[in-house]
Amino acid sequence: MTNDKPKLTPRQQQIFELIQRAIARTGSPPTRAEIAAELGFRSANAAEEHLQALARKGVIELVGGTSRGIRLKADTLRSVNENRKQTASAKSSNGSLSFSLALPGLEQLVLPLVGRVAAGQPILAQEHVEQTYAVEPSLFAKRPDYLLRVRGMSMKDIGILDGDLLAVARSREARNGQIVVARIGDEVTVKRFQRTAQGIELLPENPDFQPIVVTPDSPDFELEGLAVGLIRNQPLI
């Protein structure tokens, strides 16, 4: 640790390194129970106390509502992901790519982050992908295929804000009321889907915006996917 970083106790450092190793090898942080089992604690509560101390010192963030709600700070995660890529590349060049799991039951989900999309090109074209992120599968009700960076505030009333990362499962079909990602000409938009007798309406969740009406004559309309989760406008960690 450098002098400008919080000073950790030996036990805190051990747990912090355990979290880093788990994410580097699997893409997901450990649960409290897994930390307790790895370090010989009597209960998950002991692990929780150390995690709370690490969060107070600003080296991790804790996210409620999920068993793996441990997030590294963005700069730490970038370093871990870079080391992970280098290790994978080295092992692959030797013909023996094999990630050993330090902790049981951990999974990884690596998703491309899509930024601005050029007209006439697939949404997952390489030039649209800003980078990839390893995220926890249990964050989402359905397995997503990619993350989309939200542009604008047309869905703010349901908590989808400019800069948020929307988890999207690819689909060409949608039911009324679902939040969808759609392409209309040169624009990719996030809206609520509504099929009517006249056609399709893409409804905003902000009274400052008007619905988009798609008729059989509307050119270049395509449904790109369904929203299955959201990561708030902050570093993805």
1 within a domain of the structure (yes/no): no
Residues 129, 221, single domain; the answer is yes
Catalytic residue among 57, 89, 154, 218: 154
103 within a domain of the structure (yes/no): no
86 within a domain of the structure (yes/no): yes
Read off the pLDDT of residues 160-194 as tens digits, 9 standing for 90 and up.
888 888 989 999 999 999 999 998 877 889 999 99
Among this protein's residues, is 7 annotated catalytic? no
Tell me which of 31, 64, 93 is where a domain ends: 93
Among this protein's residues, is 85 annotated catalytic? no
CATH number of domain containing 35: 1.10.10.10
Residues 130, 16, single domain; the answer is no
Domain span at residue 201 reads 109-231
SS3 category, 161: coil
Catalytic residue among 28, 43, 191, 218: 191
Residues 36, 61, single domain; the answer is yes
- Give the separation between CA 214 and CA 126, rounded to whole angstroms: 28
Number of domains in the chain: 2
Residues 164, 66, single domain; the answer is no
Residues 84, 144, single domain; the answer is no
Read off the pLDDT of residues 27-38 as tens digits, 9 standing for 90 and up.
567 888 889 888
Q: Can you give the pTM of this predicted structure?
A: 0.54
Read off the pLDDT of residues 17-58 as tens digits, 9 standing for 90 and up.
888 887 666 556 788 888 988 888 888 888 889 999 998 988
Phi and psi, residue 23, nearest 5°: -70, -40
Q: Which of 88, 80, 97, 86 is nearest to 133 (CA)?
A: 80
28 within a domain of the structure (yes/no): yes
